[in-house]
């Protein structure tokens, strides 16, 4: 018997070695998989003469999106809730890109009043808007929050805010056609469903509401594309990949410890994570493409549930009163 020949301690040693060797191989394989499936925006298109709004670009992929688009010569409007941090970043980007045409405007997407103020200023000051990038997003794990408007905080920031802002800027976008609206959603929408009897879910676990908000983002984008057909304004959404960004900052310990390890080992850098947004903003081949979902700079399938036009119409109609859309506001 083999057990009689090899001492027990040596056998144990081999078992441990084989298991850890296998685990390391799996991890390296996963890492290589992540690396080789990365979508990189290959377009060299310049954006001189284009005006682009990017929301939430003080951190993560928004920051890298702003940096890249500034280098392509666009006028960048950084729509951020913390103007001090945004202005510091702006100085850095101006220096790095040699593009002085970058402006910071205050926007807190969890406040309907802030959104109106921001949009009013843009409509007054800007003669055109070529690309509107809804990038800002927030996620909580357990902590429940309600905004001053009575909206659930994550839904307000990730979905209701962009819904209202799109309305308030739509005339400028239409006048600037061909123009583009880009919504940063998430593949994690697959973990959620949208309860149309309660689109402002106050008592649901906030971590789950994040998935719901991304689900709503996709339903919204598809409905927006249907409503904008023939207008010269396109609307597309995307999953940026899993990224080592600030979005995980609200995960409490000890959950955050394990997460940190995974994030550092397997997730994309913010620069890699920004590629699909950049691709949707600059790529010539997407001029007429609307109502689609992208991942790693390529079109991707959506679930049938999220594509249901009846759901899109219903969500839209339910959202209008929640964001206090006025009869004097533009209709889409």
Ligand X SMILES: *[C@@H]1O[C@H](CO)[C@@H](O)[C@H](O)[C@H]1NC(C)=O
Footprint of ligand NAP (CB under 6 A):
55-62, 81-82, 107-110, 135-138, 157, 184, 186, 239-240, 242-243, 245-247
- Examine residue 75 and tell whether it contacts ligand X (CB under 6 A): yes
* Position of minimal CB gap to ligand X: 75
Contacted by 75, from ligand X, ligand NAP, none: CB < 5 to 8 Å by type: ligand X
Closest distance to ligand NAP from the beta carbon of 138 (Å): 4
- Examine residue 50 and tell whether it contacts ligand X (CB under 6 A): yes
- 210 in active site: yes
Which of the ranges 47-55, 146-154, 180-188, 215-223 carries the binding residues for ligand X, by CB under 6 A? 47-55
Contacted by 50, from ligand NAP, ligand X, none: CB < 5 to 8 Å by type: ligand X
Residue 138: burial class (beta carbons within 10 Å; 0-12, 13-18, 19+): buried
Contacted by 231, from ligand NAP, ligand X, none: CB < 5 to 8 Å by type: none
**Of 87, 101, 256, 269, the one binding ligand X by CB under 6 A:** 101
Looking at the DSSP bridge assignments, the partners of residue 79 are 55, 105
- Phi first, then psi, for residue 66 (nearest 5°) are -60, -45
Is the separation of the CB atoms in 262 and 187 below 8 Å? no
Concatenate the DSSP letters of all residues of 62-105 into one string: HHHHHHHHHHTT-EEEEEES-HHHHHHHHHHHHHHHT---EEEE
Closest to 321 measured CA to CA, from 171, 185, 210, 167: 167
Q: What is the dihedral sign for C-alpha 196, 201, 203, 209?
A: positive
Closest to 285 measured CA to CA, from 74, 41, 54, 38: 41
**Of 49, 252, 258, 309, the one binding ligand X by CB under 6 A:** 49
Question: What residues line the site for ligand X (CB under 6 A)?
Answer: 49-51, 74-75, 101
Q: Which residues have a catalytic role annotated?
A: 210
């Amino acid at each position: 018997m083999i057990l009689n020949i090899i001492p027990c301690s040596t056998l144990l040693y081999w078992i441990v070695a084989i298991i850890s060797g296998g685990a390391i191989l799996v991890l390296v394989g996963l890492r290589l998989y992540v690396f080789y499936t990365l979508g990189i925006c290959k377009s060299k298109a310049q954006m001189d003469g284009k005006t682009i709004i990017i929301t939430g670009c003080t951190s993560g992929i928004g920051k890298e999106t702003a940096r890249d688009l500034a280098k392509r010569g666009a006028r960048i409007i950084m729509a951020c809730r913390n103007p001090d941090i945004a202005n510091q970043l702006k100085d850095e980007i101006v220096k790095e890109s040699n593009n002085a045409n970058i402006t910071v405007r205050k926007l807190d997407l969890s406040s309907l009043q802030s959104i109106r103020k921001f949009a009013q200023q843009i409509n007054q000051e800007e003669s055109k808007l070529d690309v509107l990038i809804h990038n800002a997003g927030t996620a909580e794990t357990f902590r429940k929050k309600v905004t001053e408007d009575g909206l659930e905080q994550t839904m307000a920031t990730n979905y209701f805010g962009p819904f209202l802002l799109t309305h308030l800027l739509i005339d400028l976008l239409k006048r600037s056609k061909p123009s583009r609206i880009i919504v940063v959603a998430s593949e994690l929408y697959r973990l959620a469903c949208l309860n149309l009897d309660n689109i402002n879910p106050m008592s649901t676990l906030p971590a789950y509401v994040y998935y719901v908000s991304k689900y709503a983002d996709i339903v919204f984008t598809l409905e927006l594309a249907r409503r904008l057909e023939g207008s010269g304004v396109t609307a597309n959404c995307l999953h940026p990949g899993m990224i080592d960004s600030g979005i995980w900052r609200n995960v409490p310990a000890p959950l955050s410890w394990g997460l940190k390890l995974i994030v550092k080992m397997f997730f994309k850098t913010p620069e890699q994570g920004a590629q699909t947004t950049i691709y949707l903003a600059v790529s010539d081949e997407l001029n007429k493409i609307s109502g689609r979902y992208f991942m790693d700079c390529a079109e991707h399938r959506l679930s049938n549930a999220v594509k249901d036009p009846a759901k899109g119409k219903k969500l839209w109609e339910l959202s209008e009163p929640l964001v206090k859309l006025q009869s004097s506001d533009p209709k889409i």
